[in-house]
Amino acid sequence: MTPISSASPHPAGRSTEFLLGARDTLPLLLGAAPFGLIFGALASASPLGIVGALGMSALVFAGSAQFIALSLLGTGASALVVVFTTLVVNLRHLLYAASLQPQMARLPQRWRVLLAFWLTDETYAAVHHRYAHDDGAPFKHWYTAGSGAAMYANWLGWTVVGAFLGQASPALTHLGLEFALVATFVGIVAPLLRERPSIAVALTAAVVA
């Protein structure tokens, strides 16, 4: 799945940019949905419970880190180990942030904090696609906010659904829905493979994995 590119230049309006960001992220929302569903089901069946599952999704908002944290908590790992491990897993976000720094540097701090919290793999893919068009639009950060808000609402929503369904049907976690995460990342990476160096890197990563 790939972000939907706009057929016409983006108008400069804040609300228009916000809605376009949400719209262009829709295909990626579908890929993240089963992931959120499974997390909600697993977390609700753990000592975290439904409230803890929703709280983690609301405050952490990082799927892979949340699954790892949930697994570590289940083994009785200390809080320090959990925090350190999840930080290592999310180090890639430093690379995302560094590549977006030229576009975000002039924004007020409140904007930078919000957009940093909402930065995910999917949102980065959509935003990278948007910033590739140097059309001089002044409110591109609203596009980023639209994408981030859509992903955040989607993640919270499916966490809640998964939490309640997991309580009602424990077999939910054995339906093999994990494939959606792989499909989502393939959809993110594929459109970026336009030159030989990037293709070579992707193939090398696939072989190593």
Residue-wise pLDDT tens digits, 137-179: 888 999 999 999 999 999 999 999 999 887 766 665 555 544 4
**What's residue 174's pLDDT?**
56
Residue identified by tokens 């829709």 is: 26
**What mean pLDDT comes out for the span 10-29?**
86
SS (H, E, C) the chain: CCCCCCCCCCCCCHHHHHHHHHHHCHHHHHHHHHHHHHHHHHHHHCCCHHHHHHHHHHHCCCHHHHHHHHHHHHCCCCHHHHHHHHHHHCCHHHHHHHHHHHHHCCCCHHHHHHHHHCCCHHHHHHHHHHHCCCCCCCCHHHHHHHHHHHHHHHHHHHHHHHHHHHHHCHHHHHCCCCHHHHHHHHHHHHHHCCCHHHHHHHHHHHHHC
Q: Residue 14 — left, alpha, or beta (φ > 0 → left; ψ -120 to 50 → alpha)? A: alpha
Is this prediction's pTM over 0.85?
A: no
Q: How confident is the model at residue 4 (pLDDT cuts 50, 70, 90)?
A: very low
Asked if the model's pLDDT at residue 88 lies above 90, the reply is no
Does 207 score more than 80 pLDDT?
A: no
Contact 163, 40 (CB under 8 A): yes
* Stretch 84-93: mean pLDDT: 88
Give the pLDDT confidence of 48-78 residue by residue, as tens digits. Answer: 889 999 999 999 999 888 988 888 888 888 9
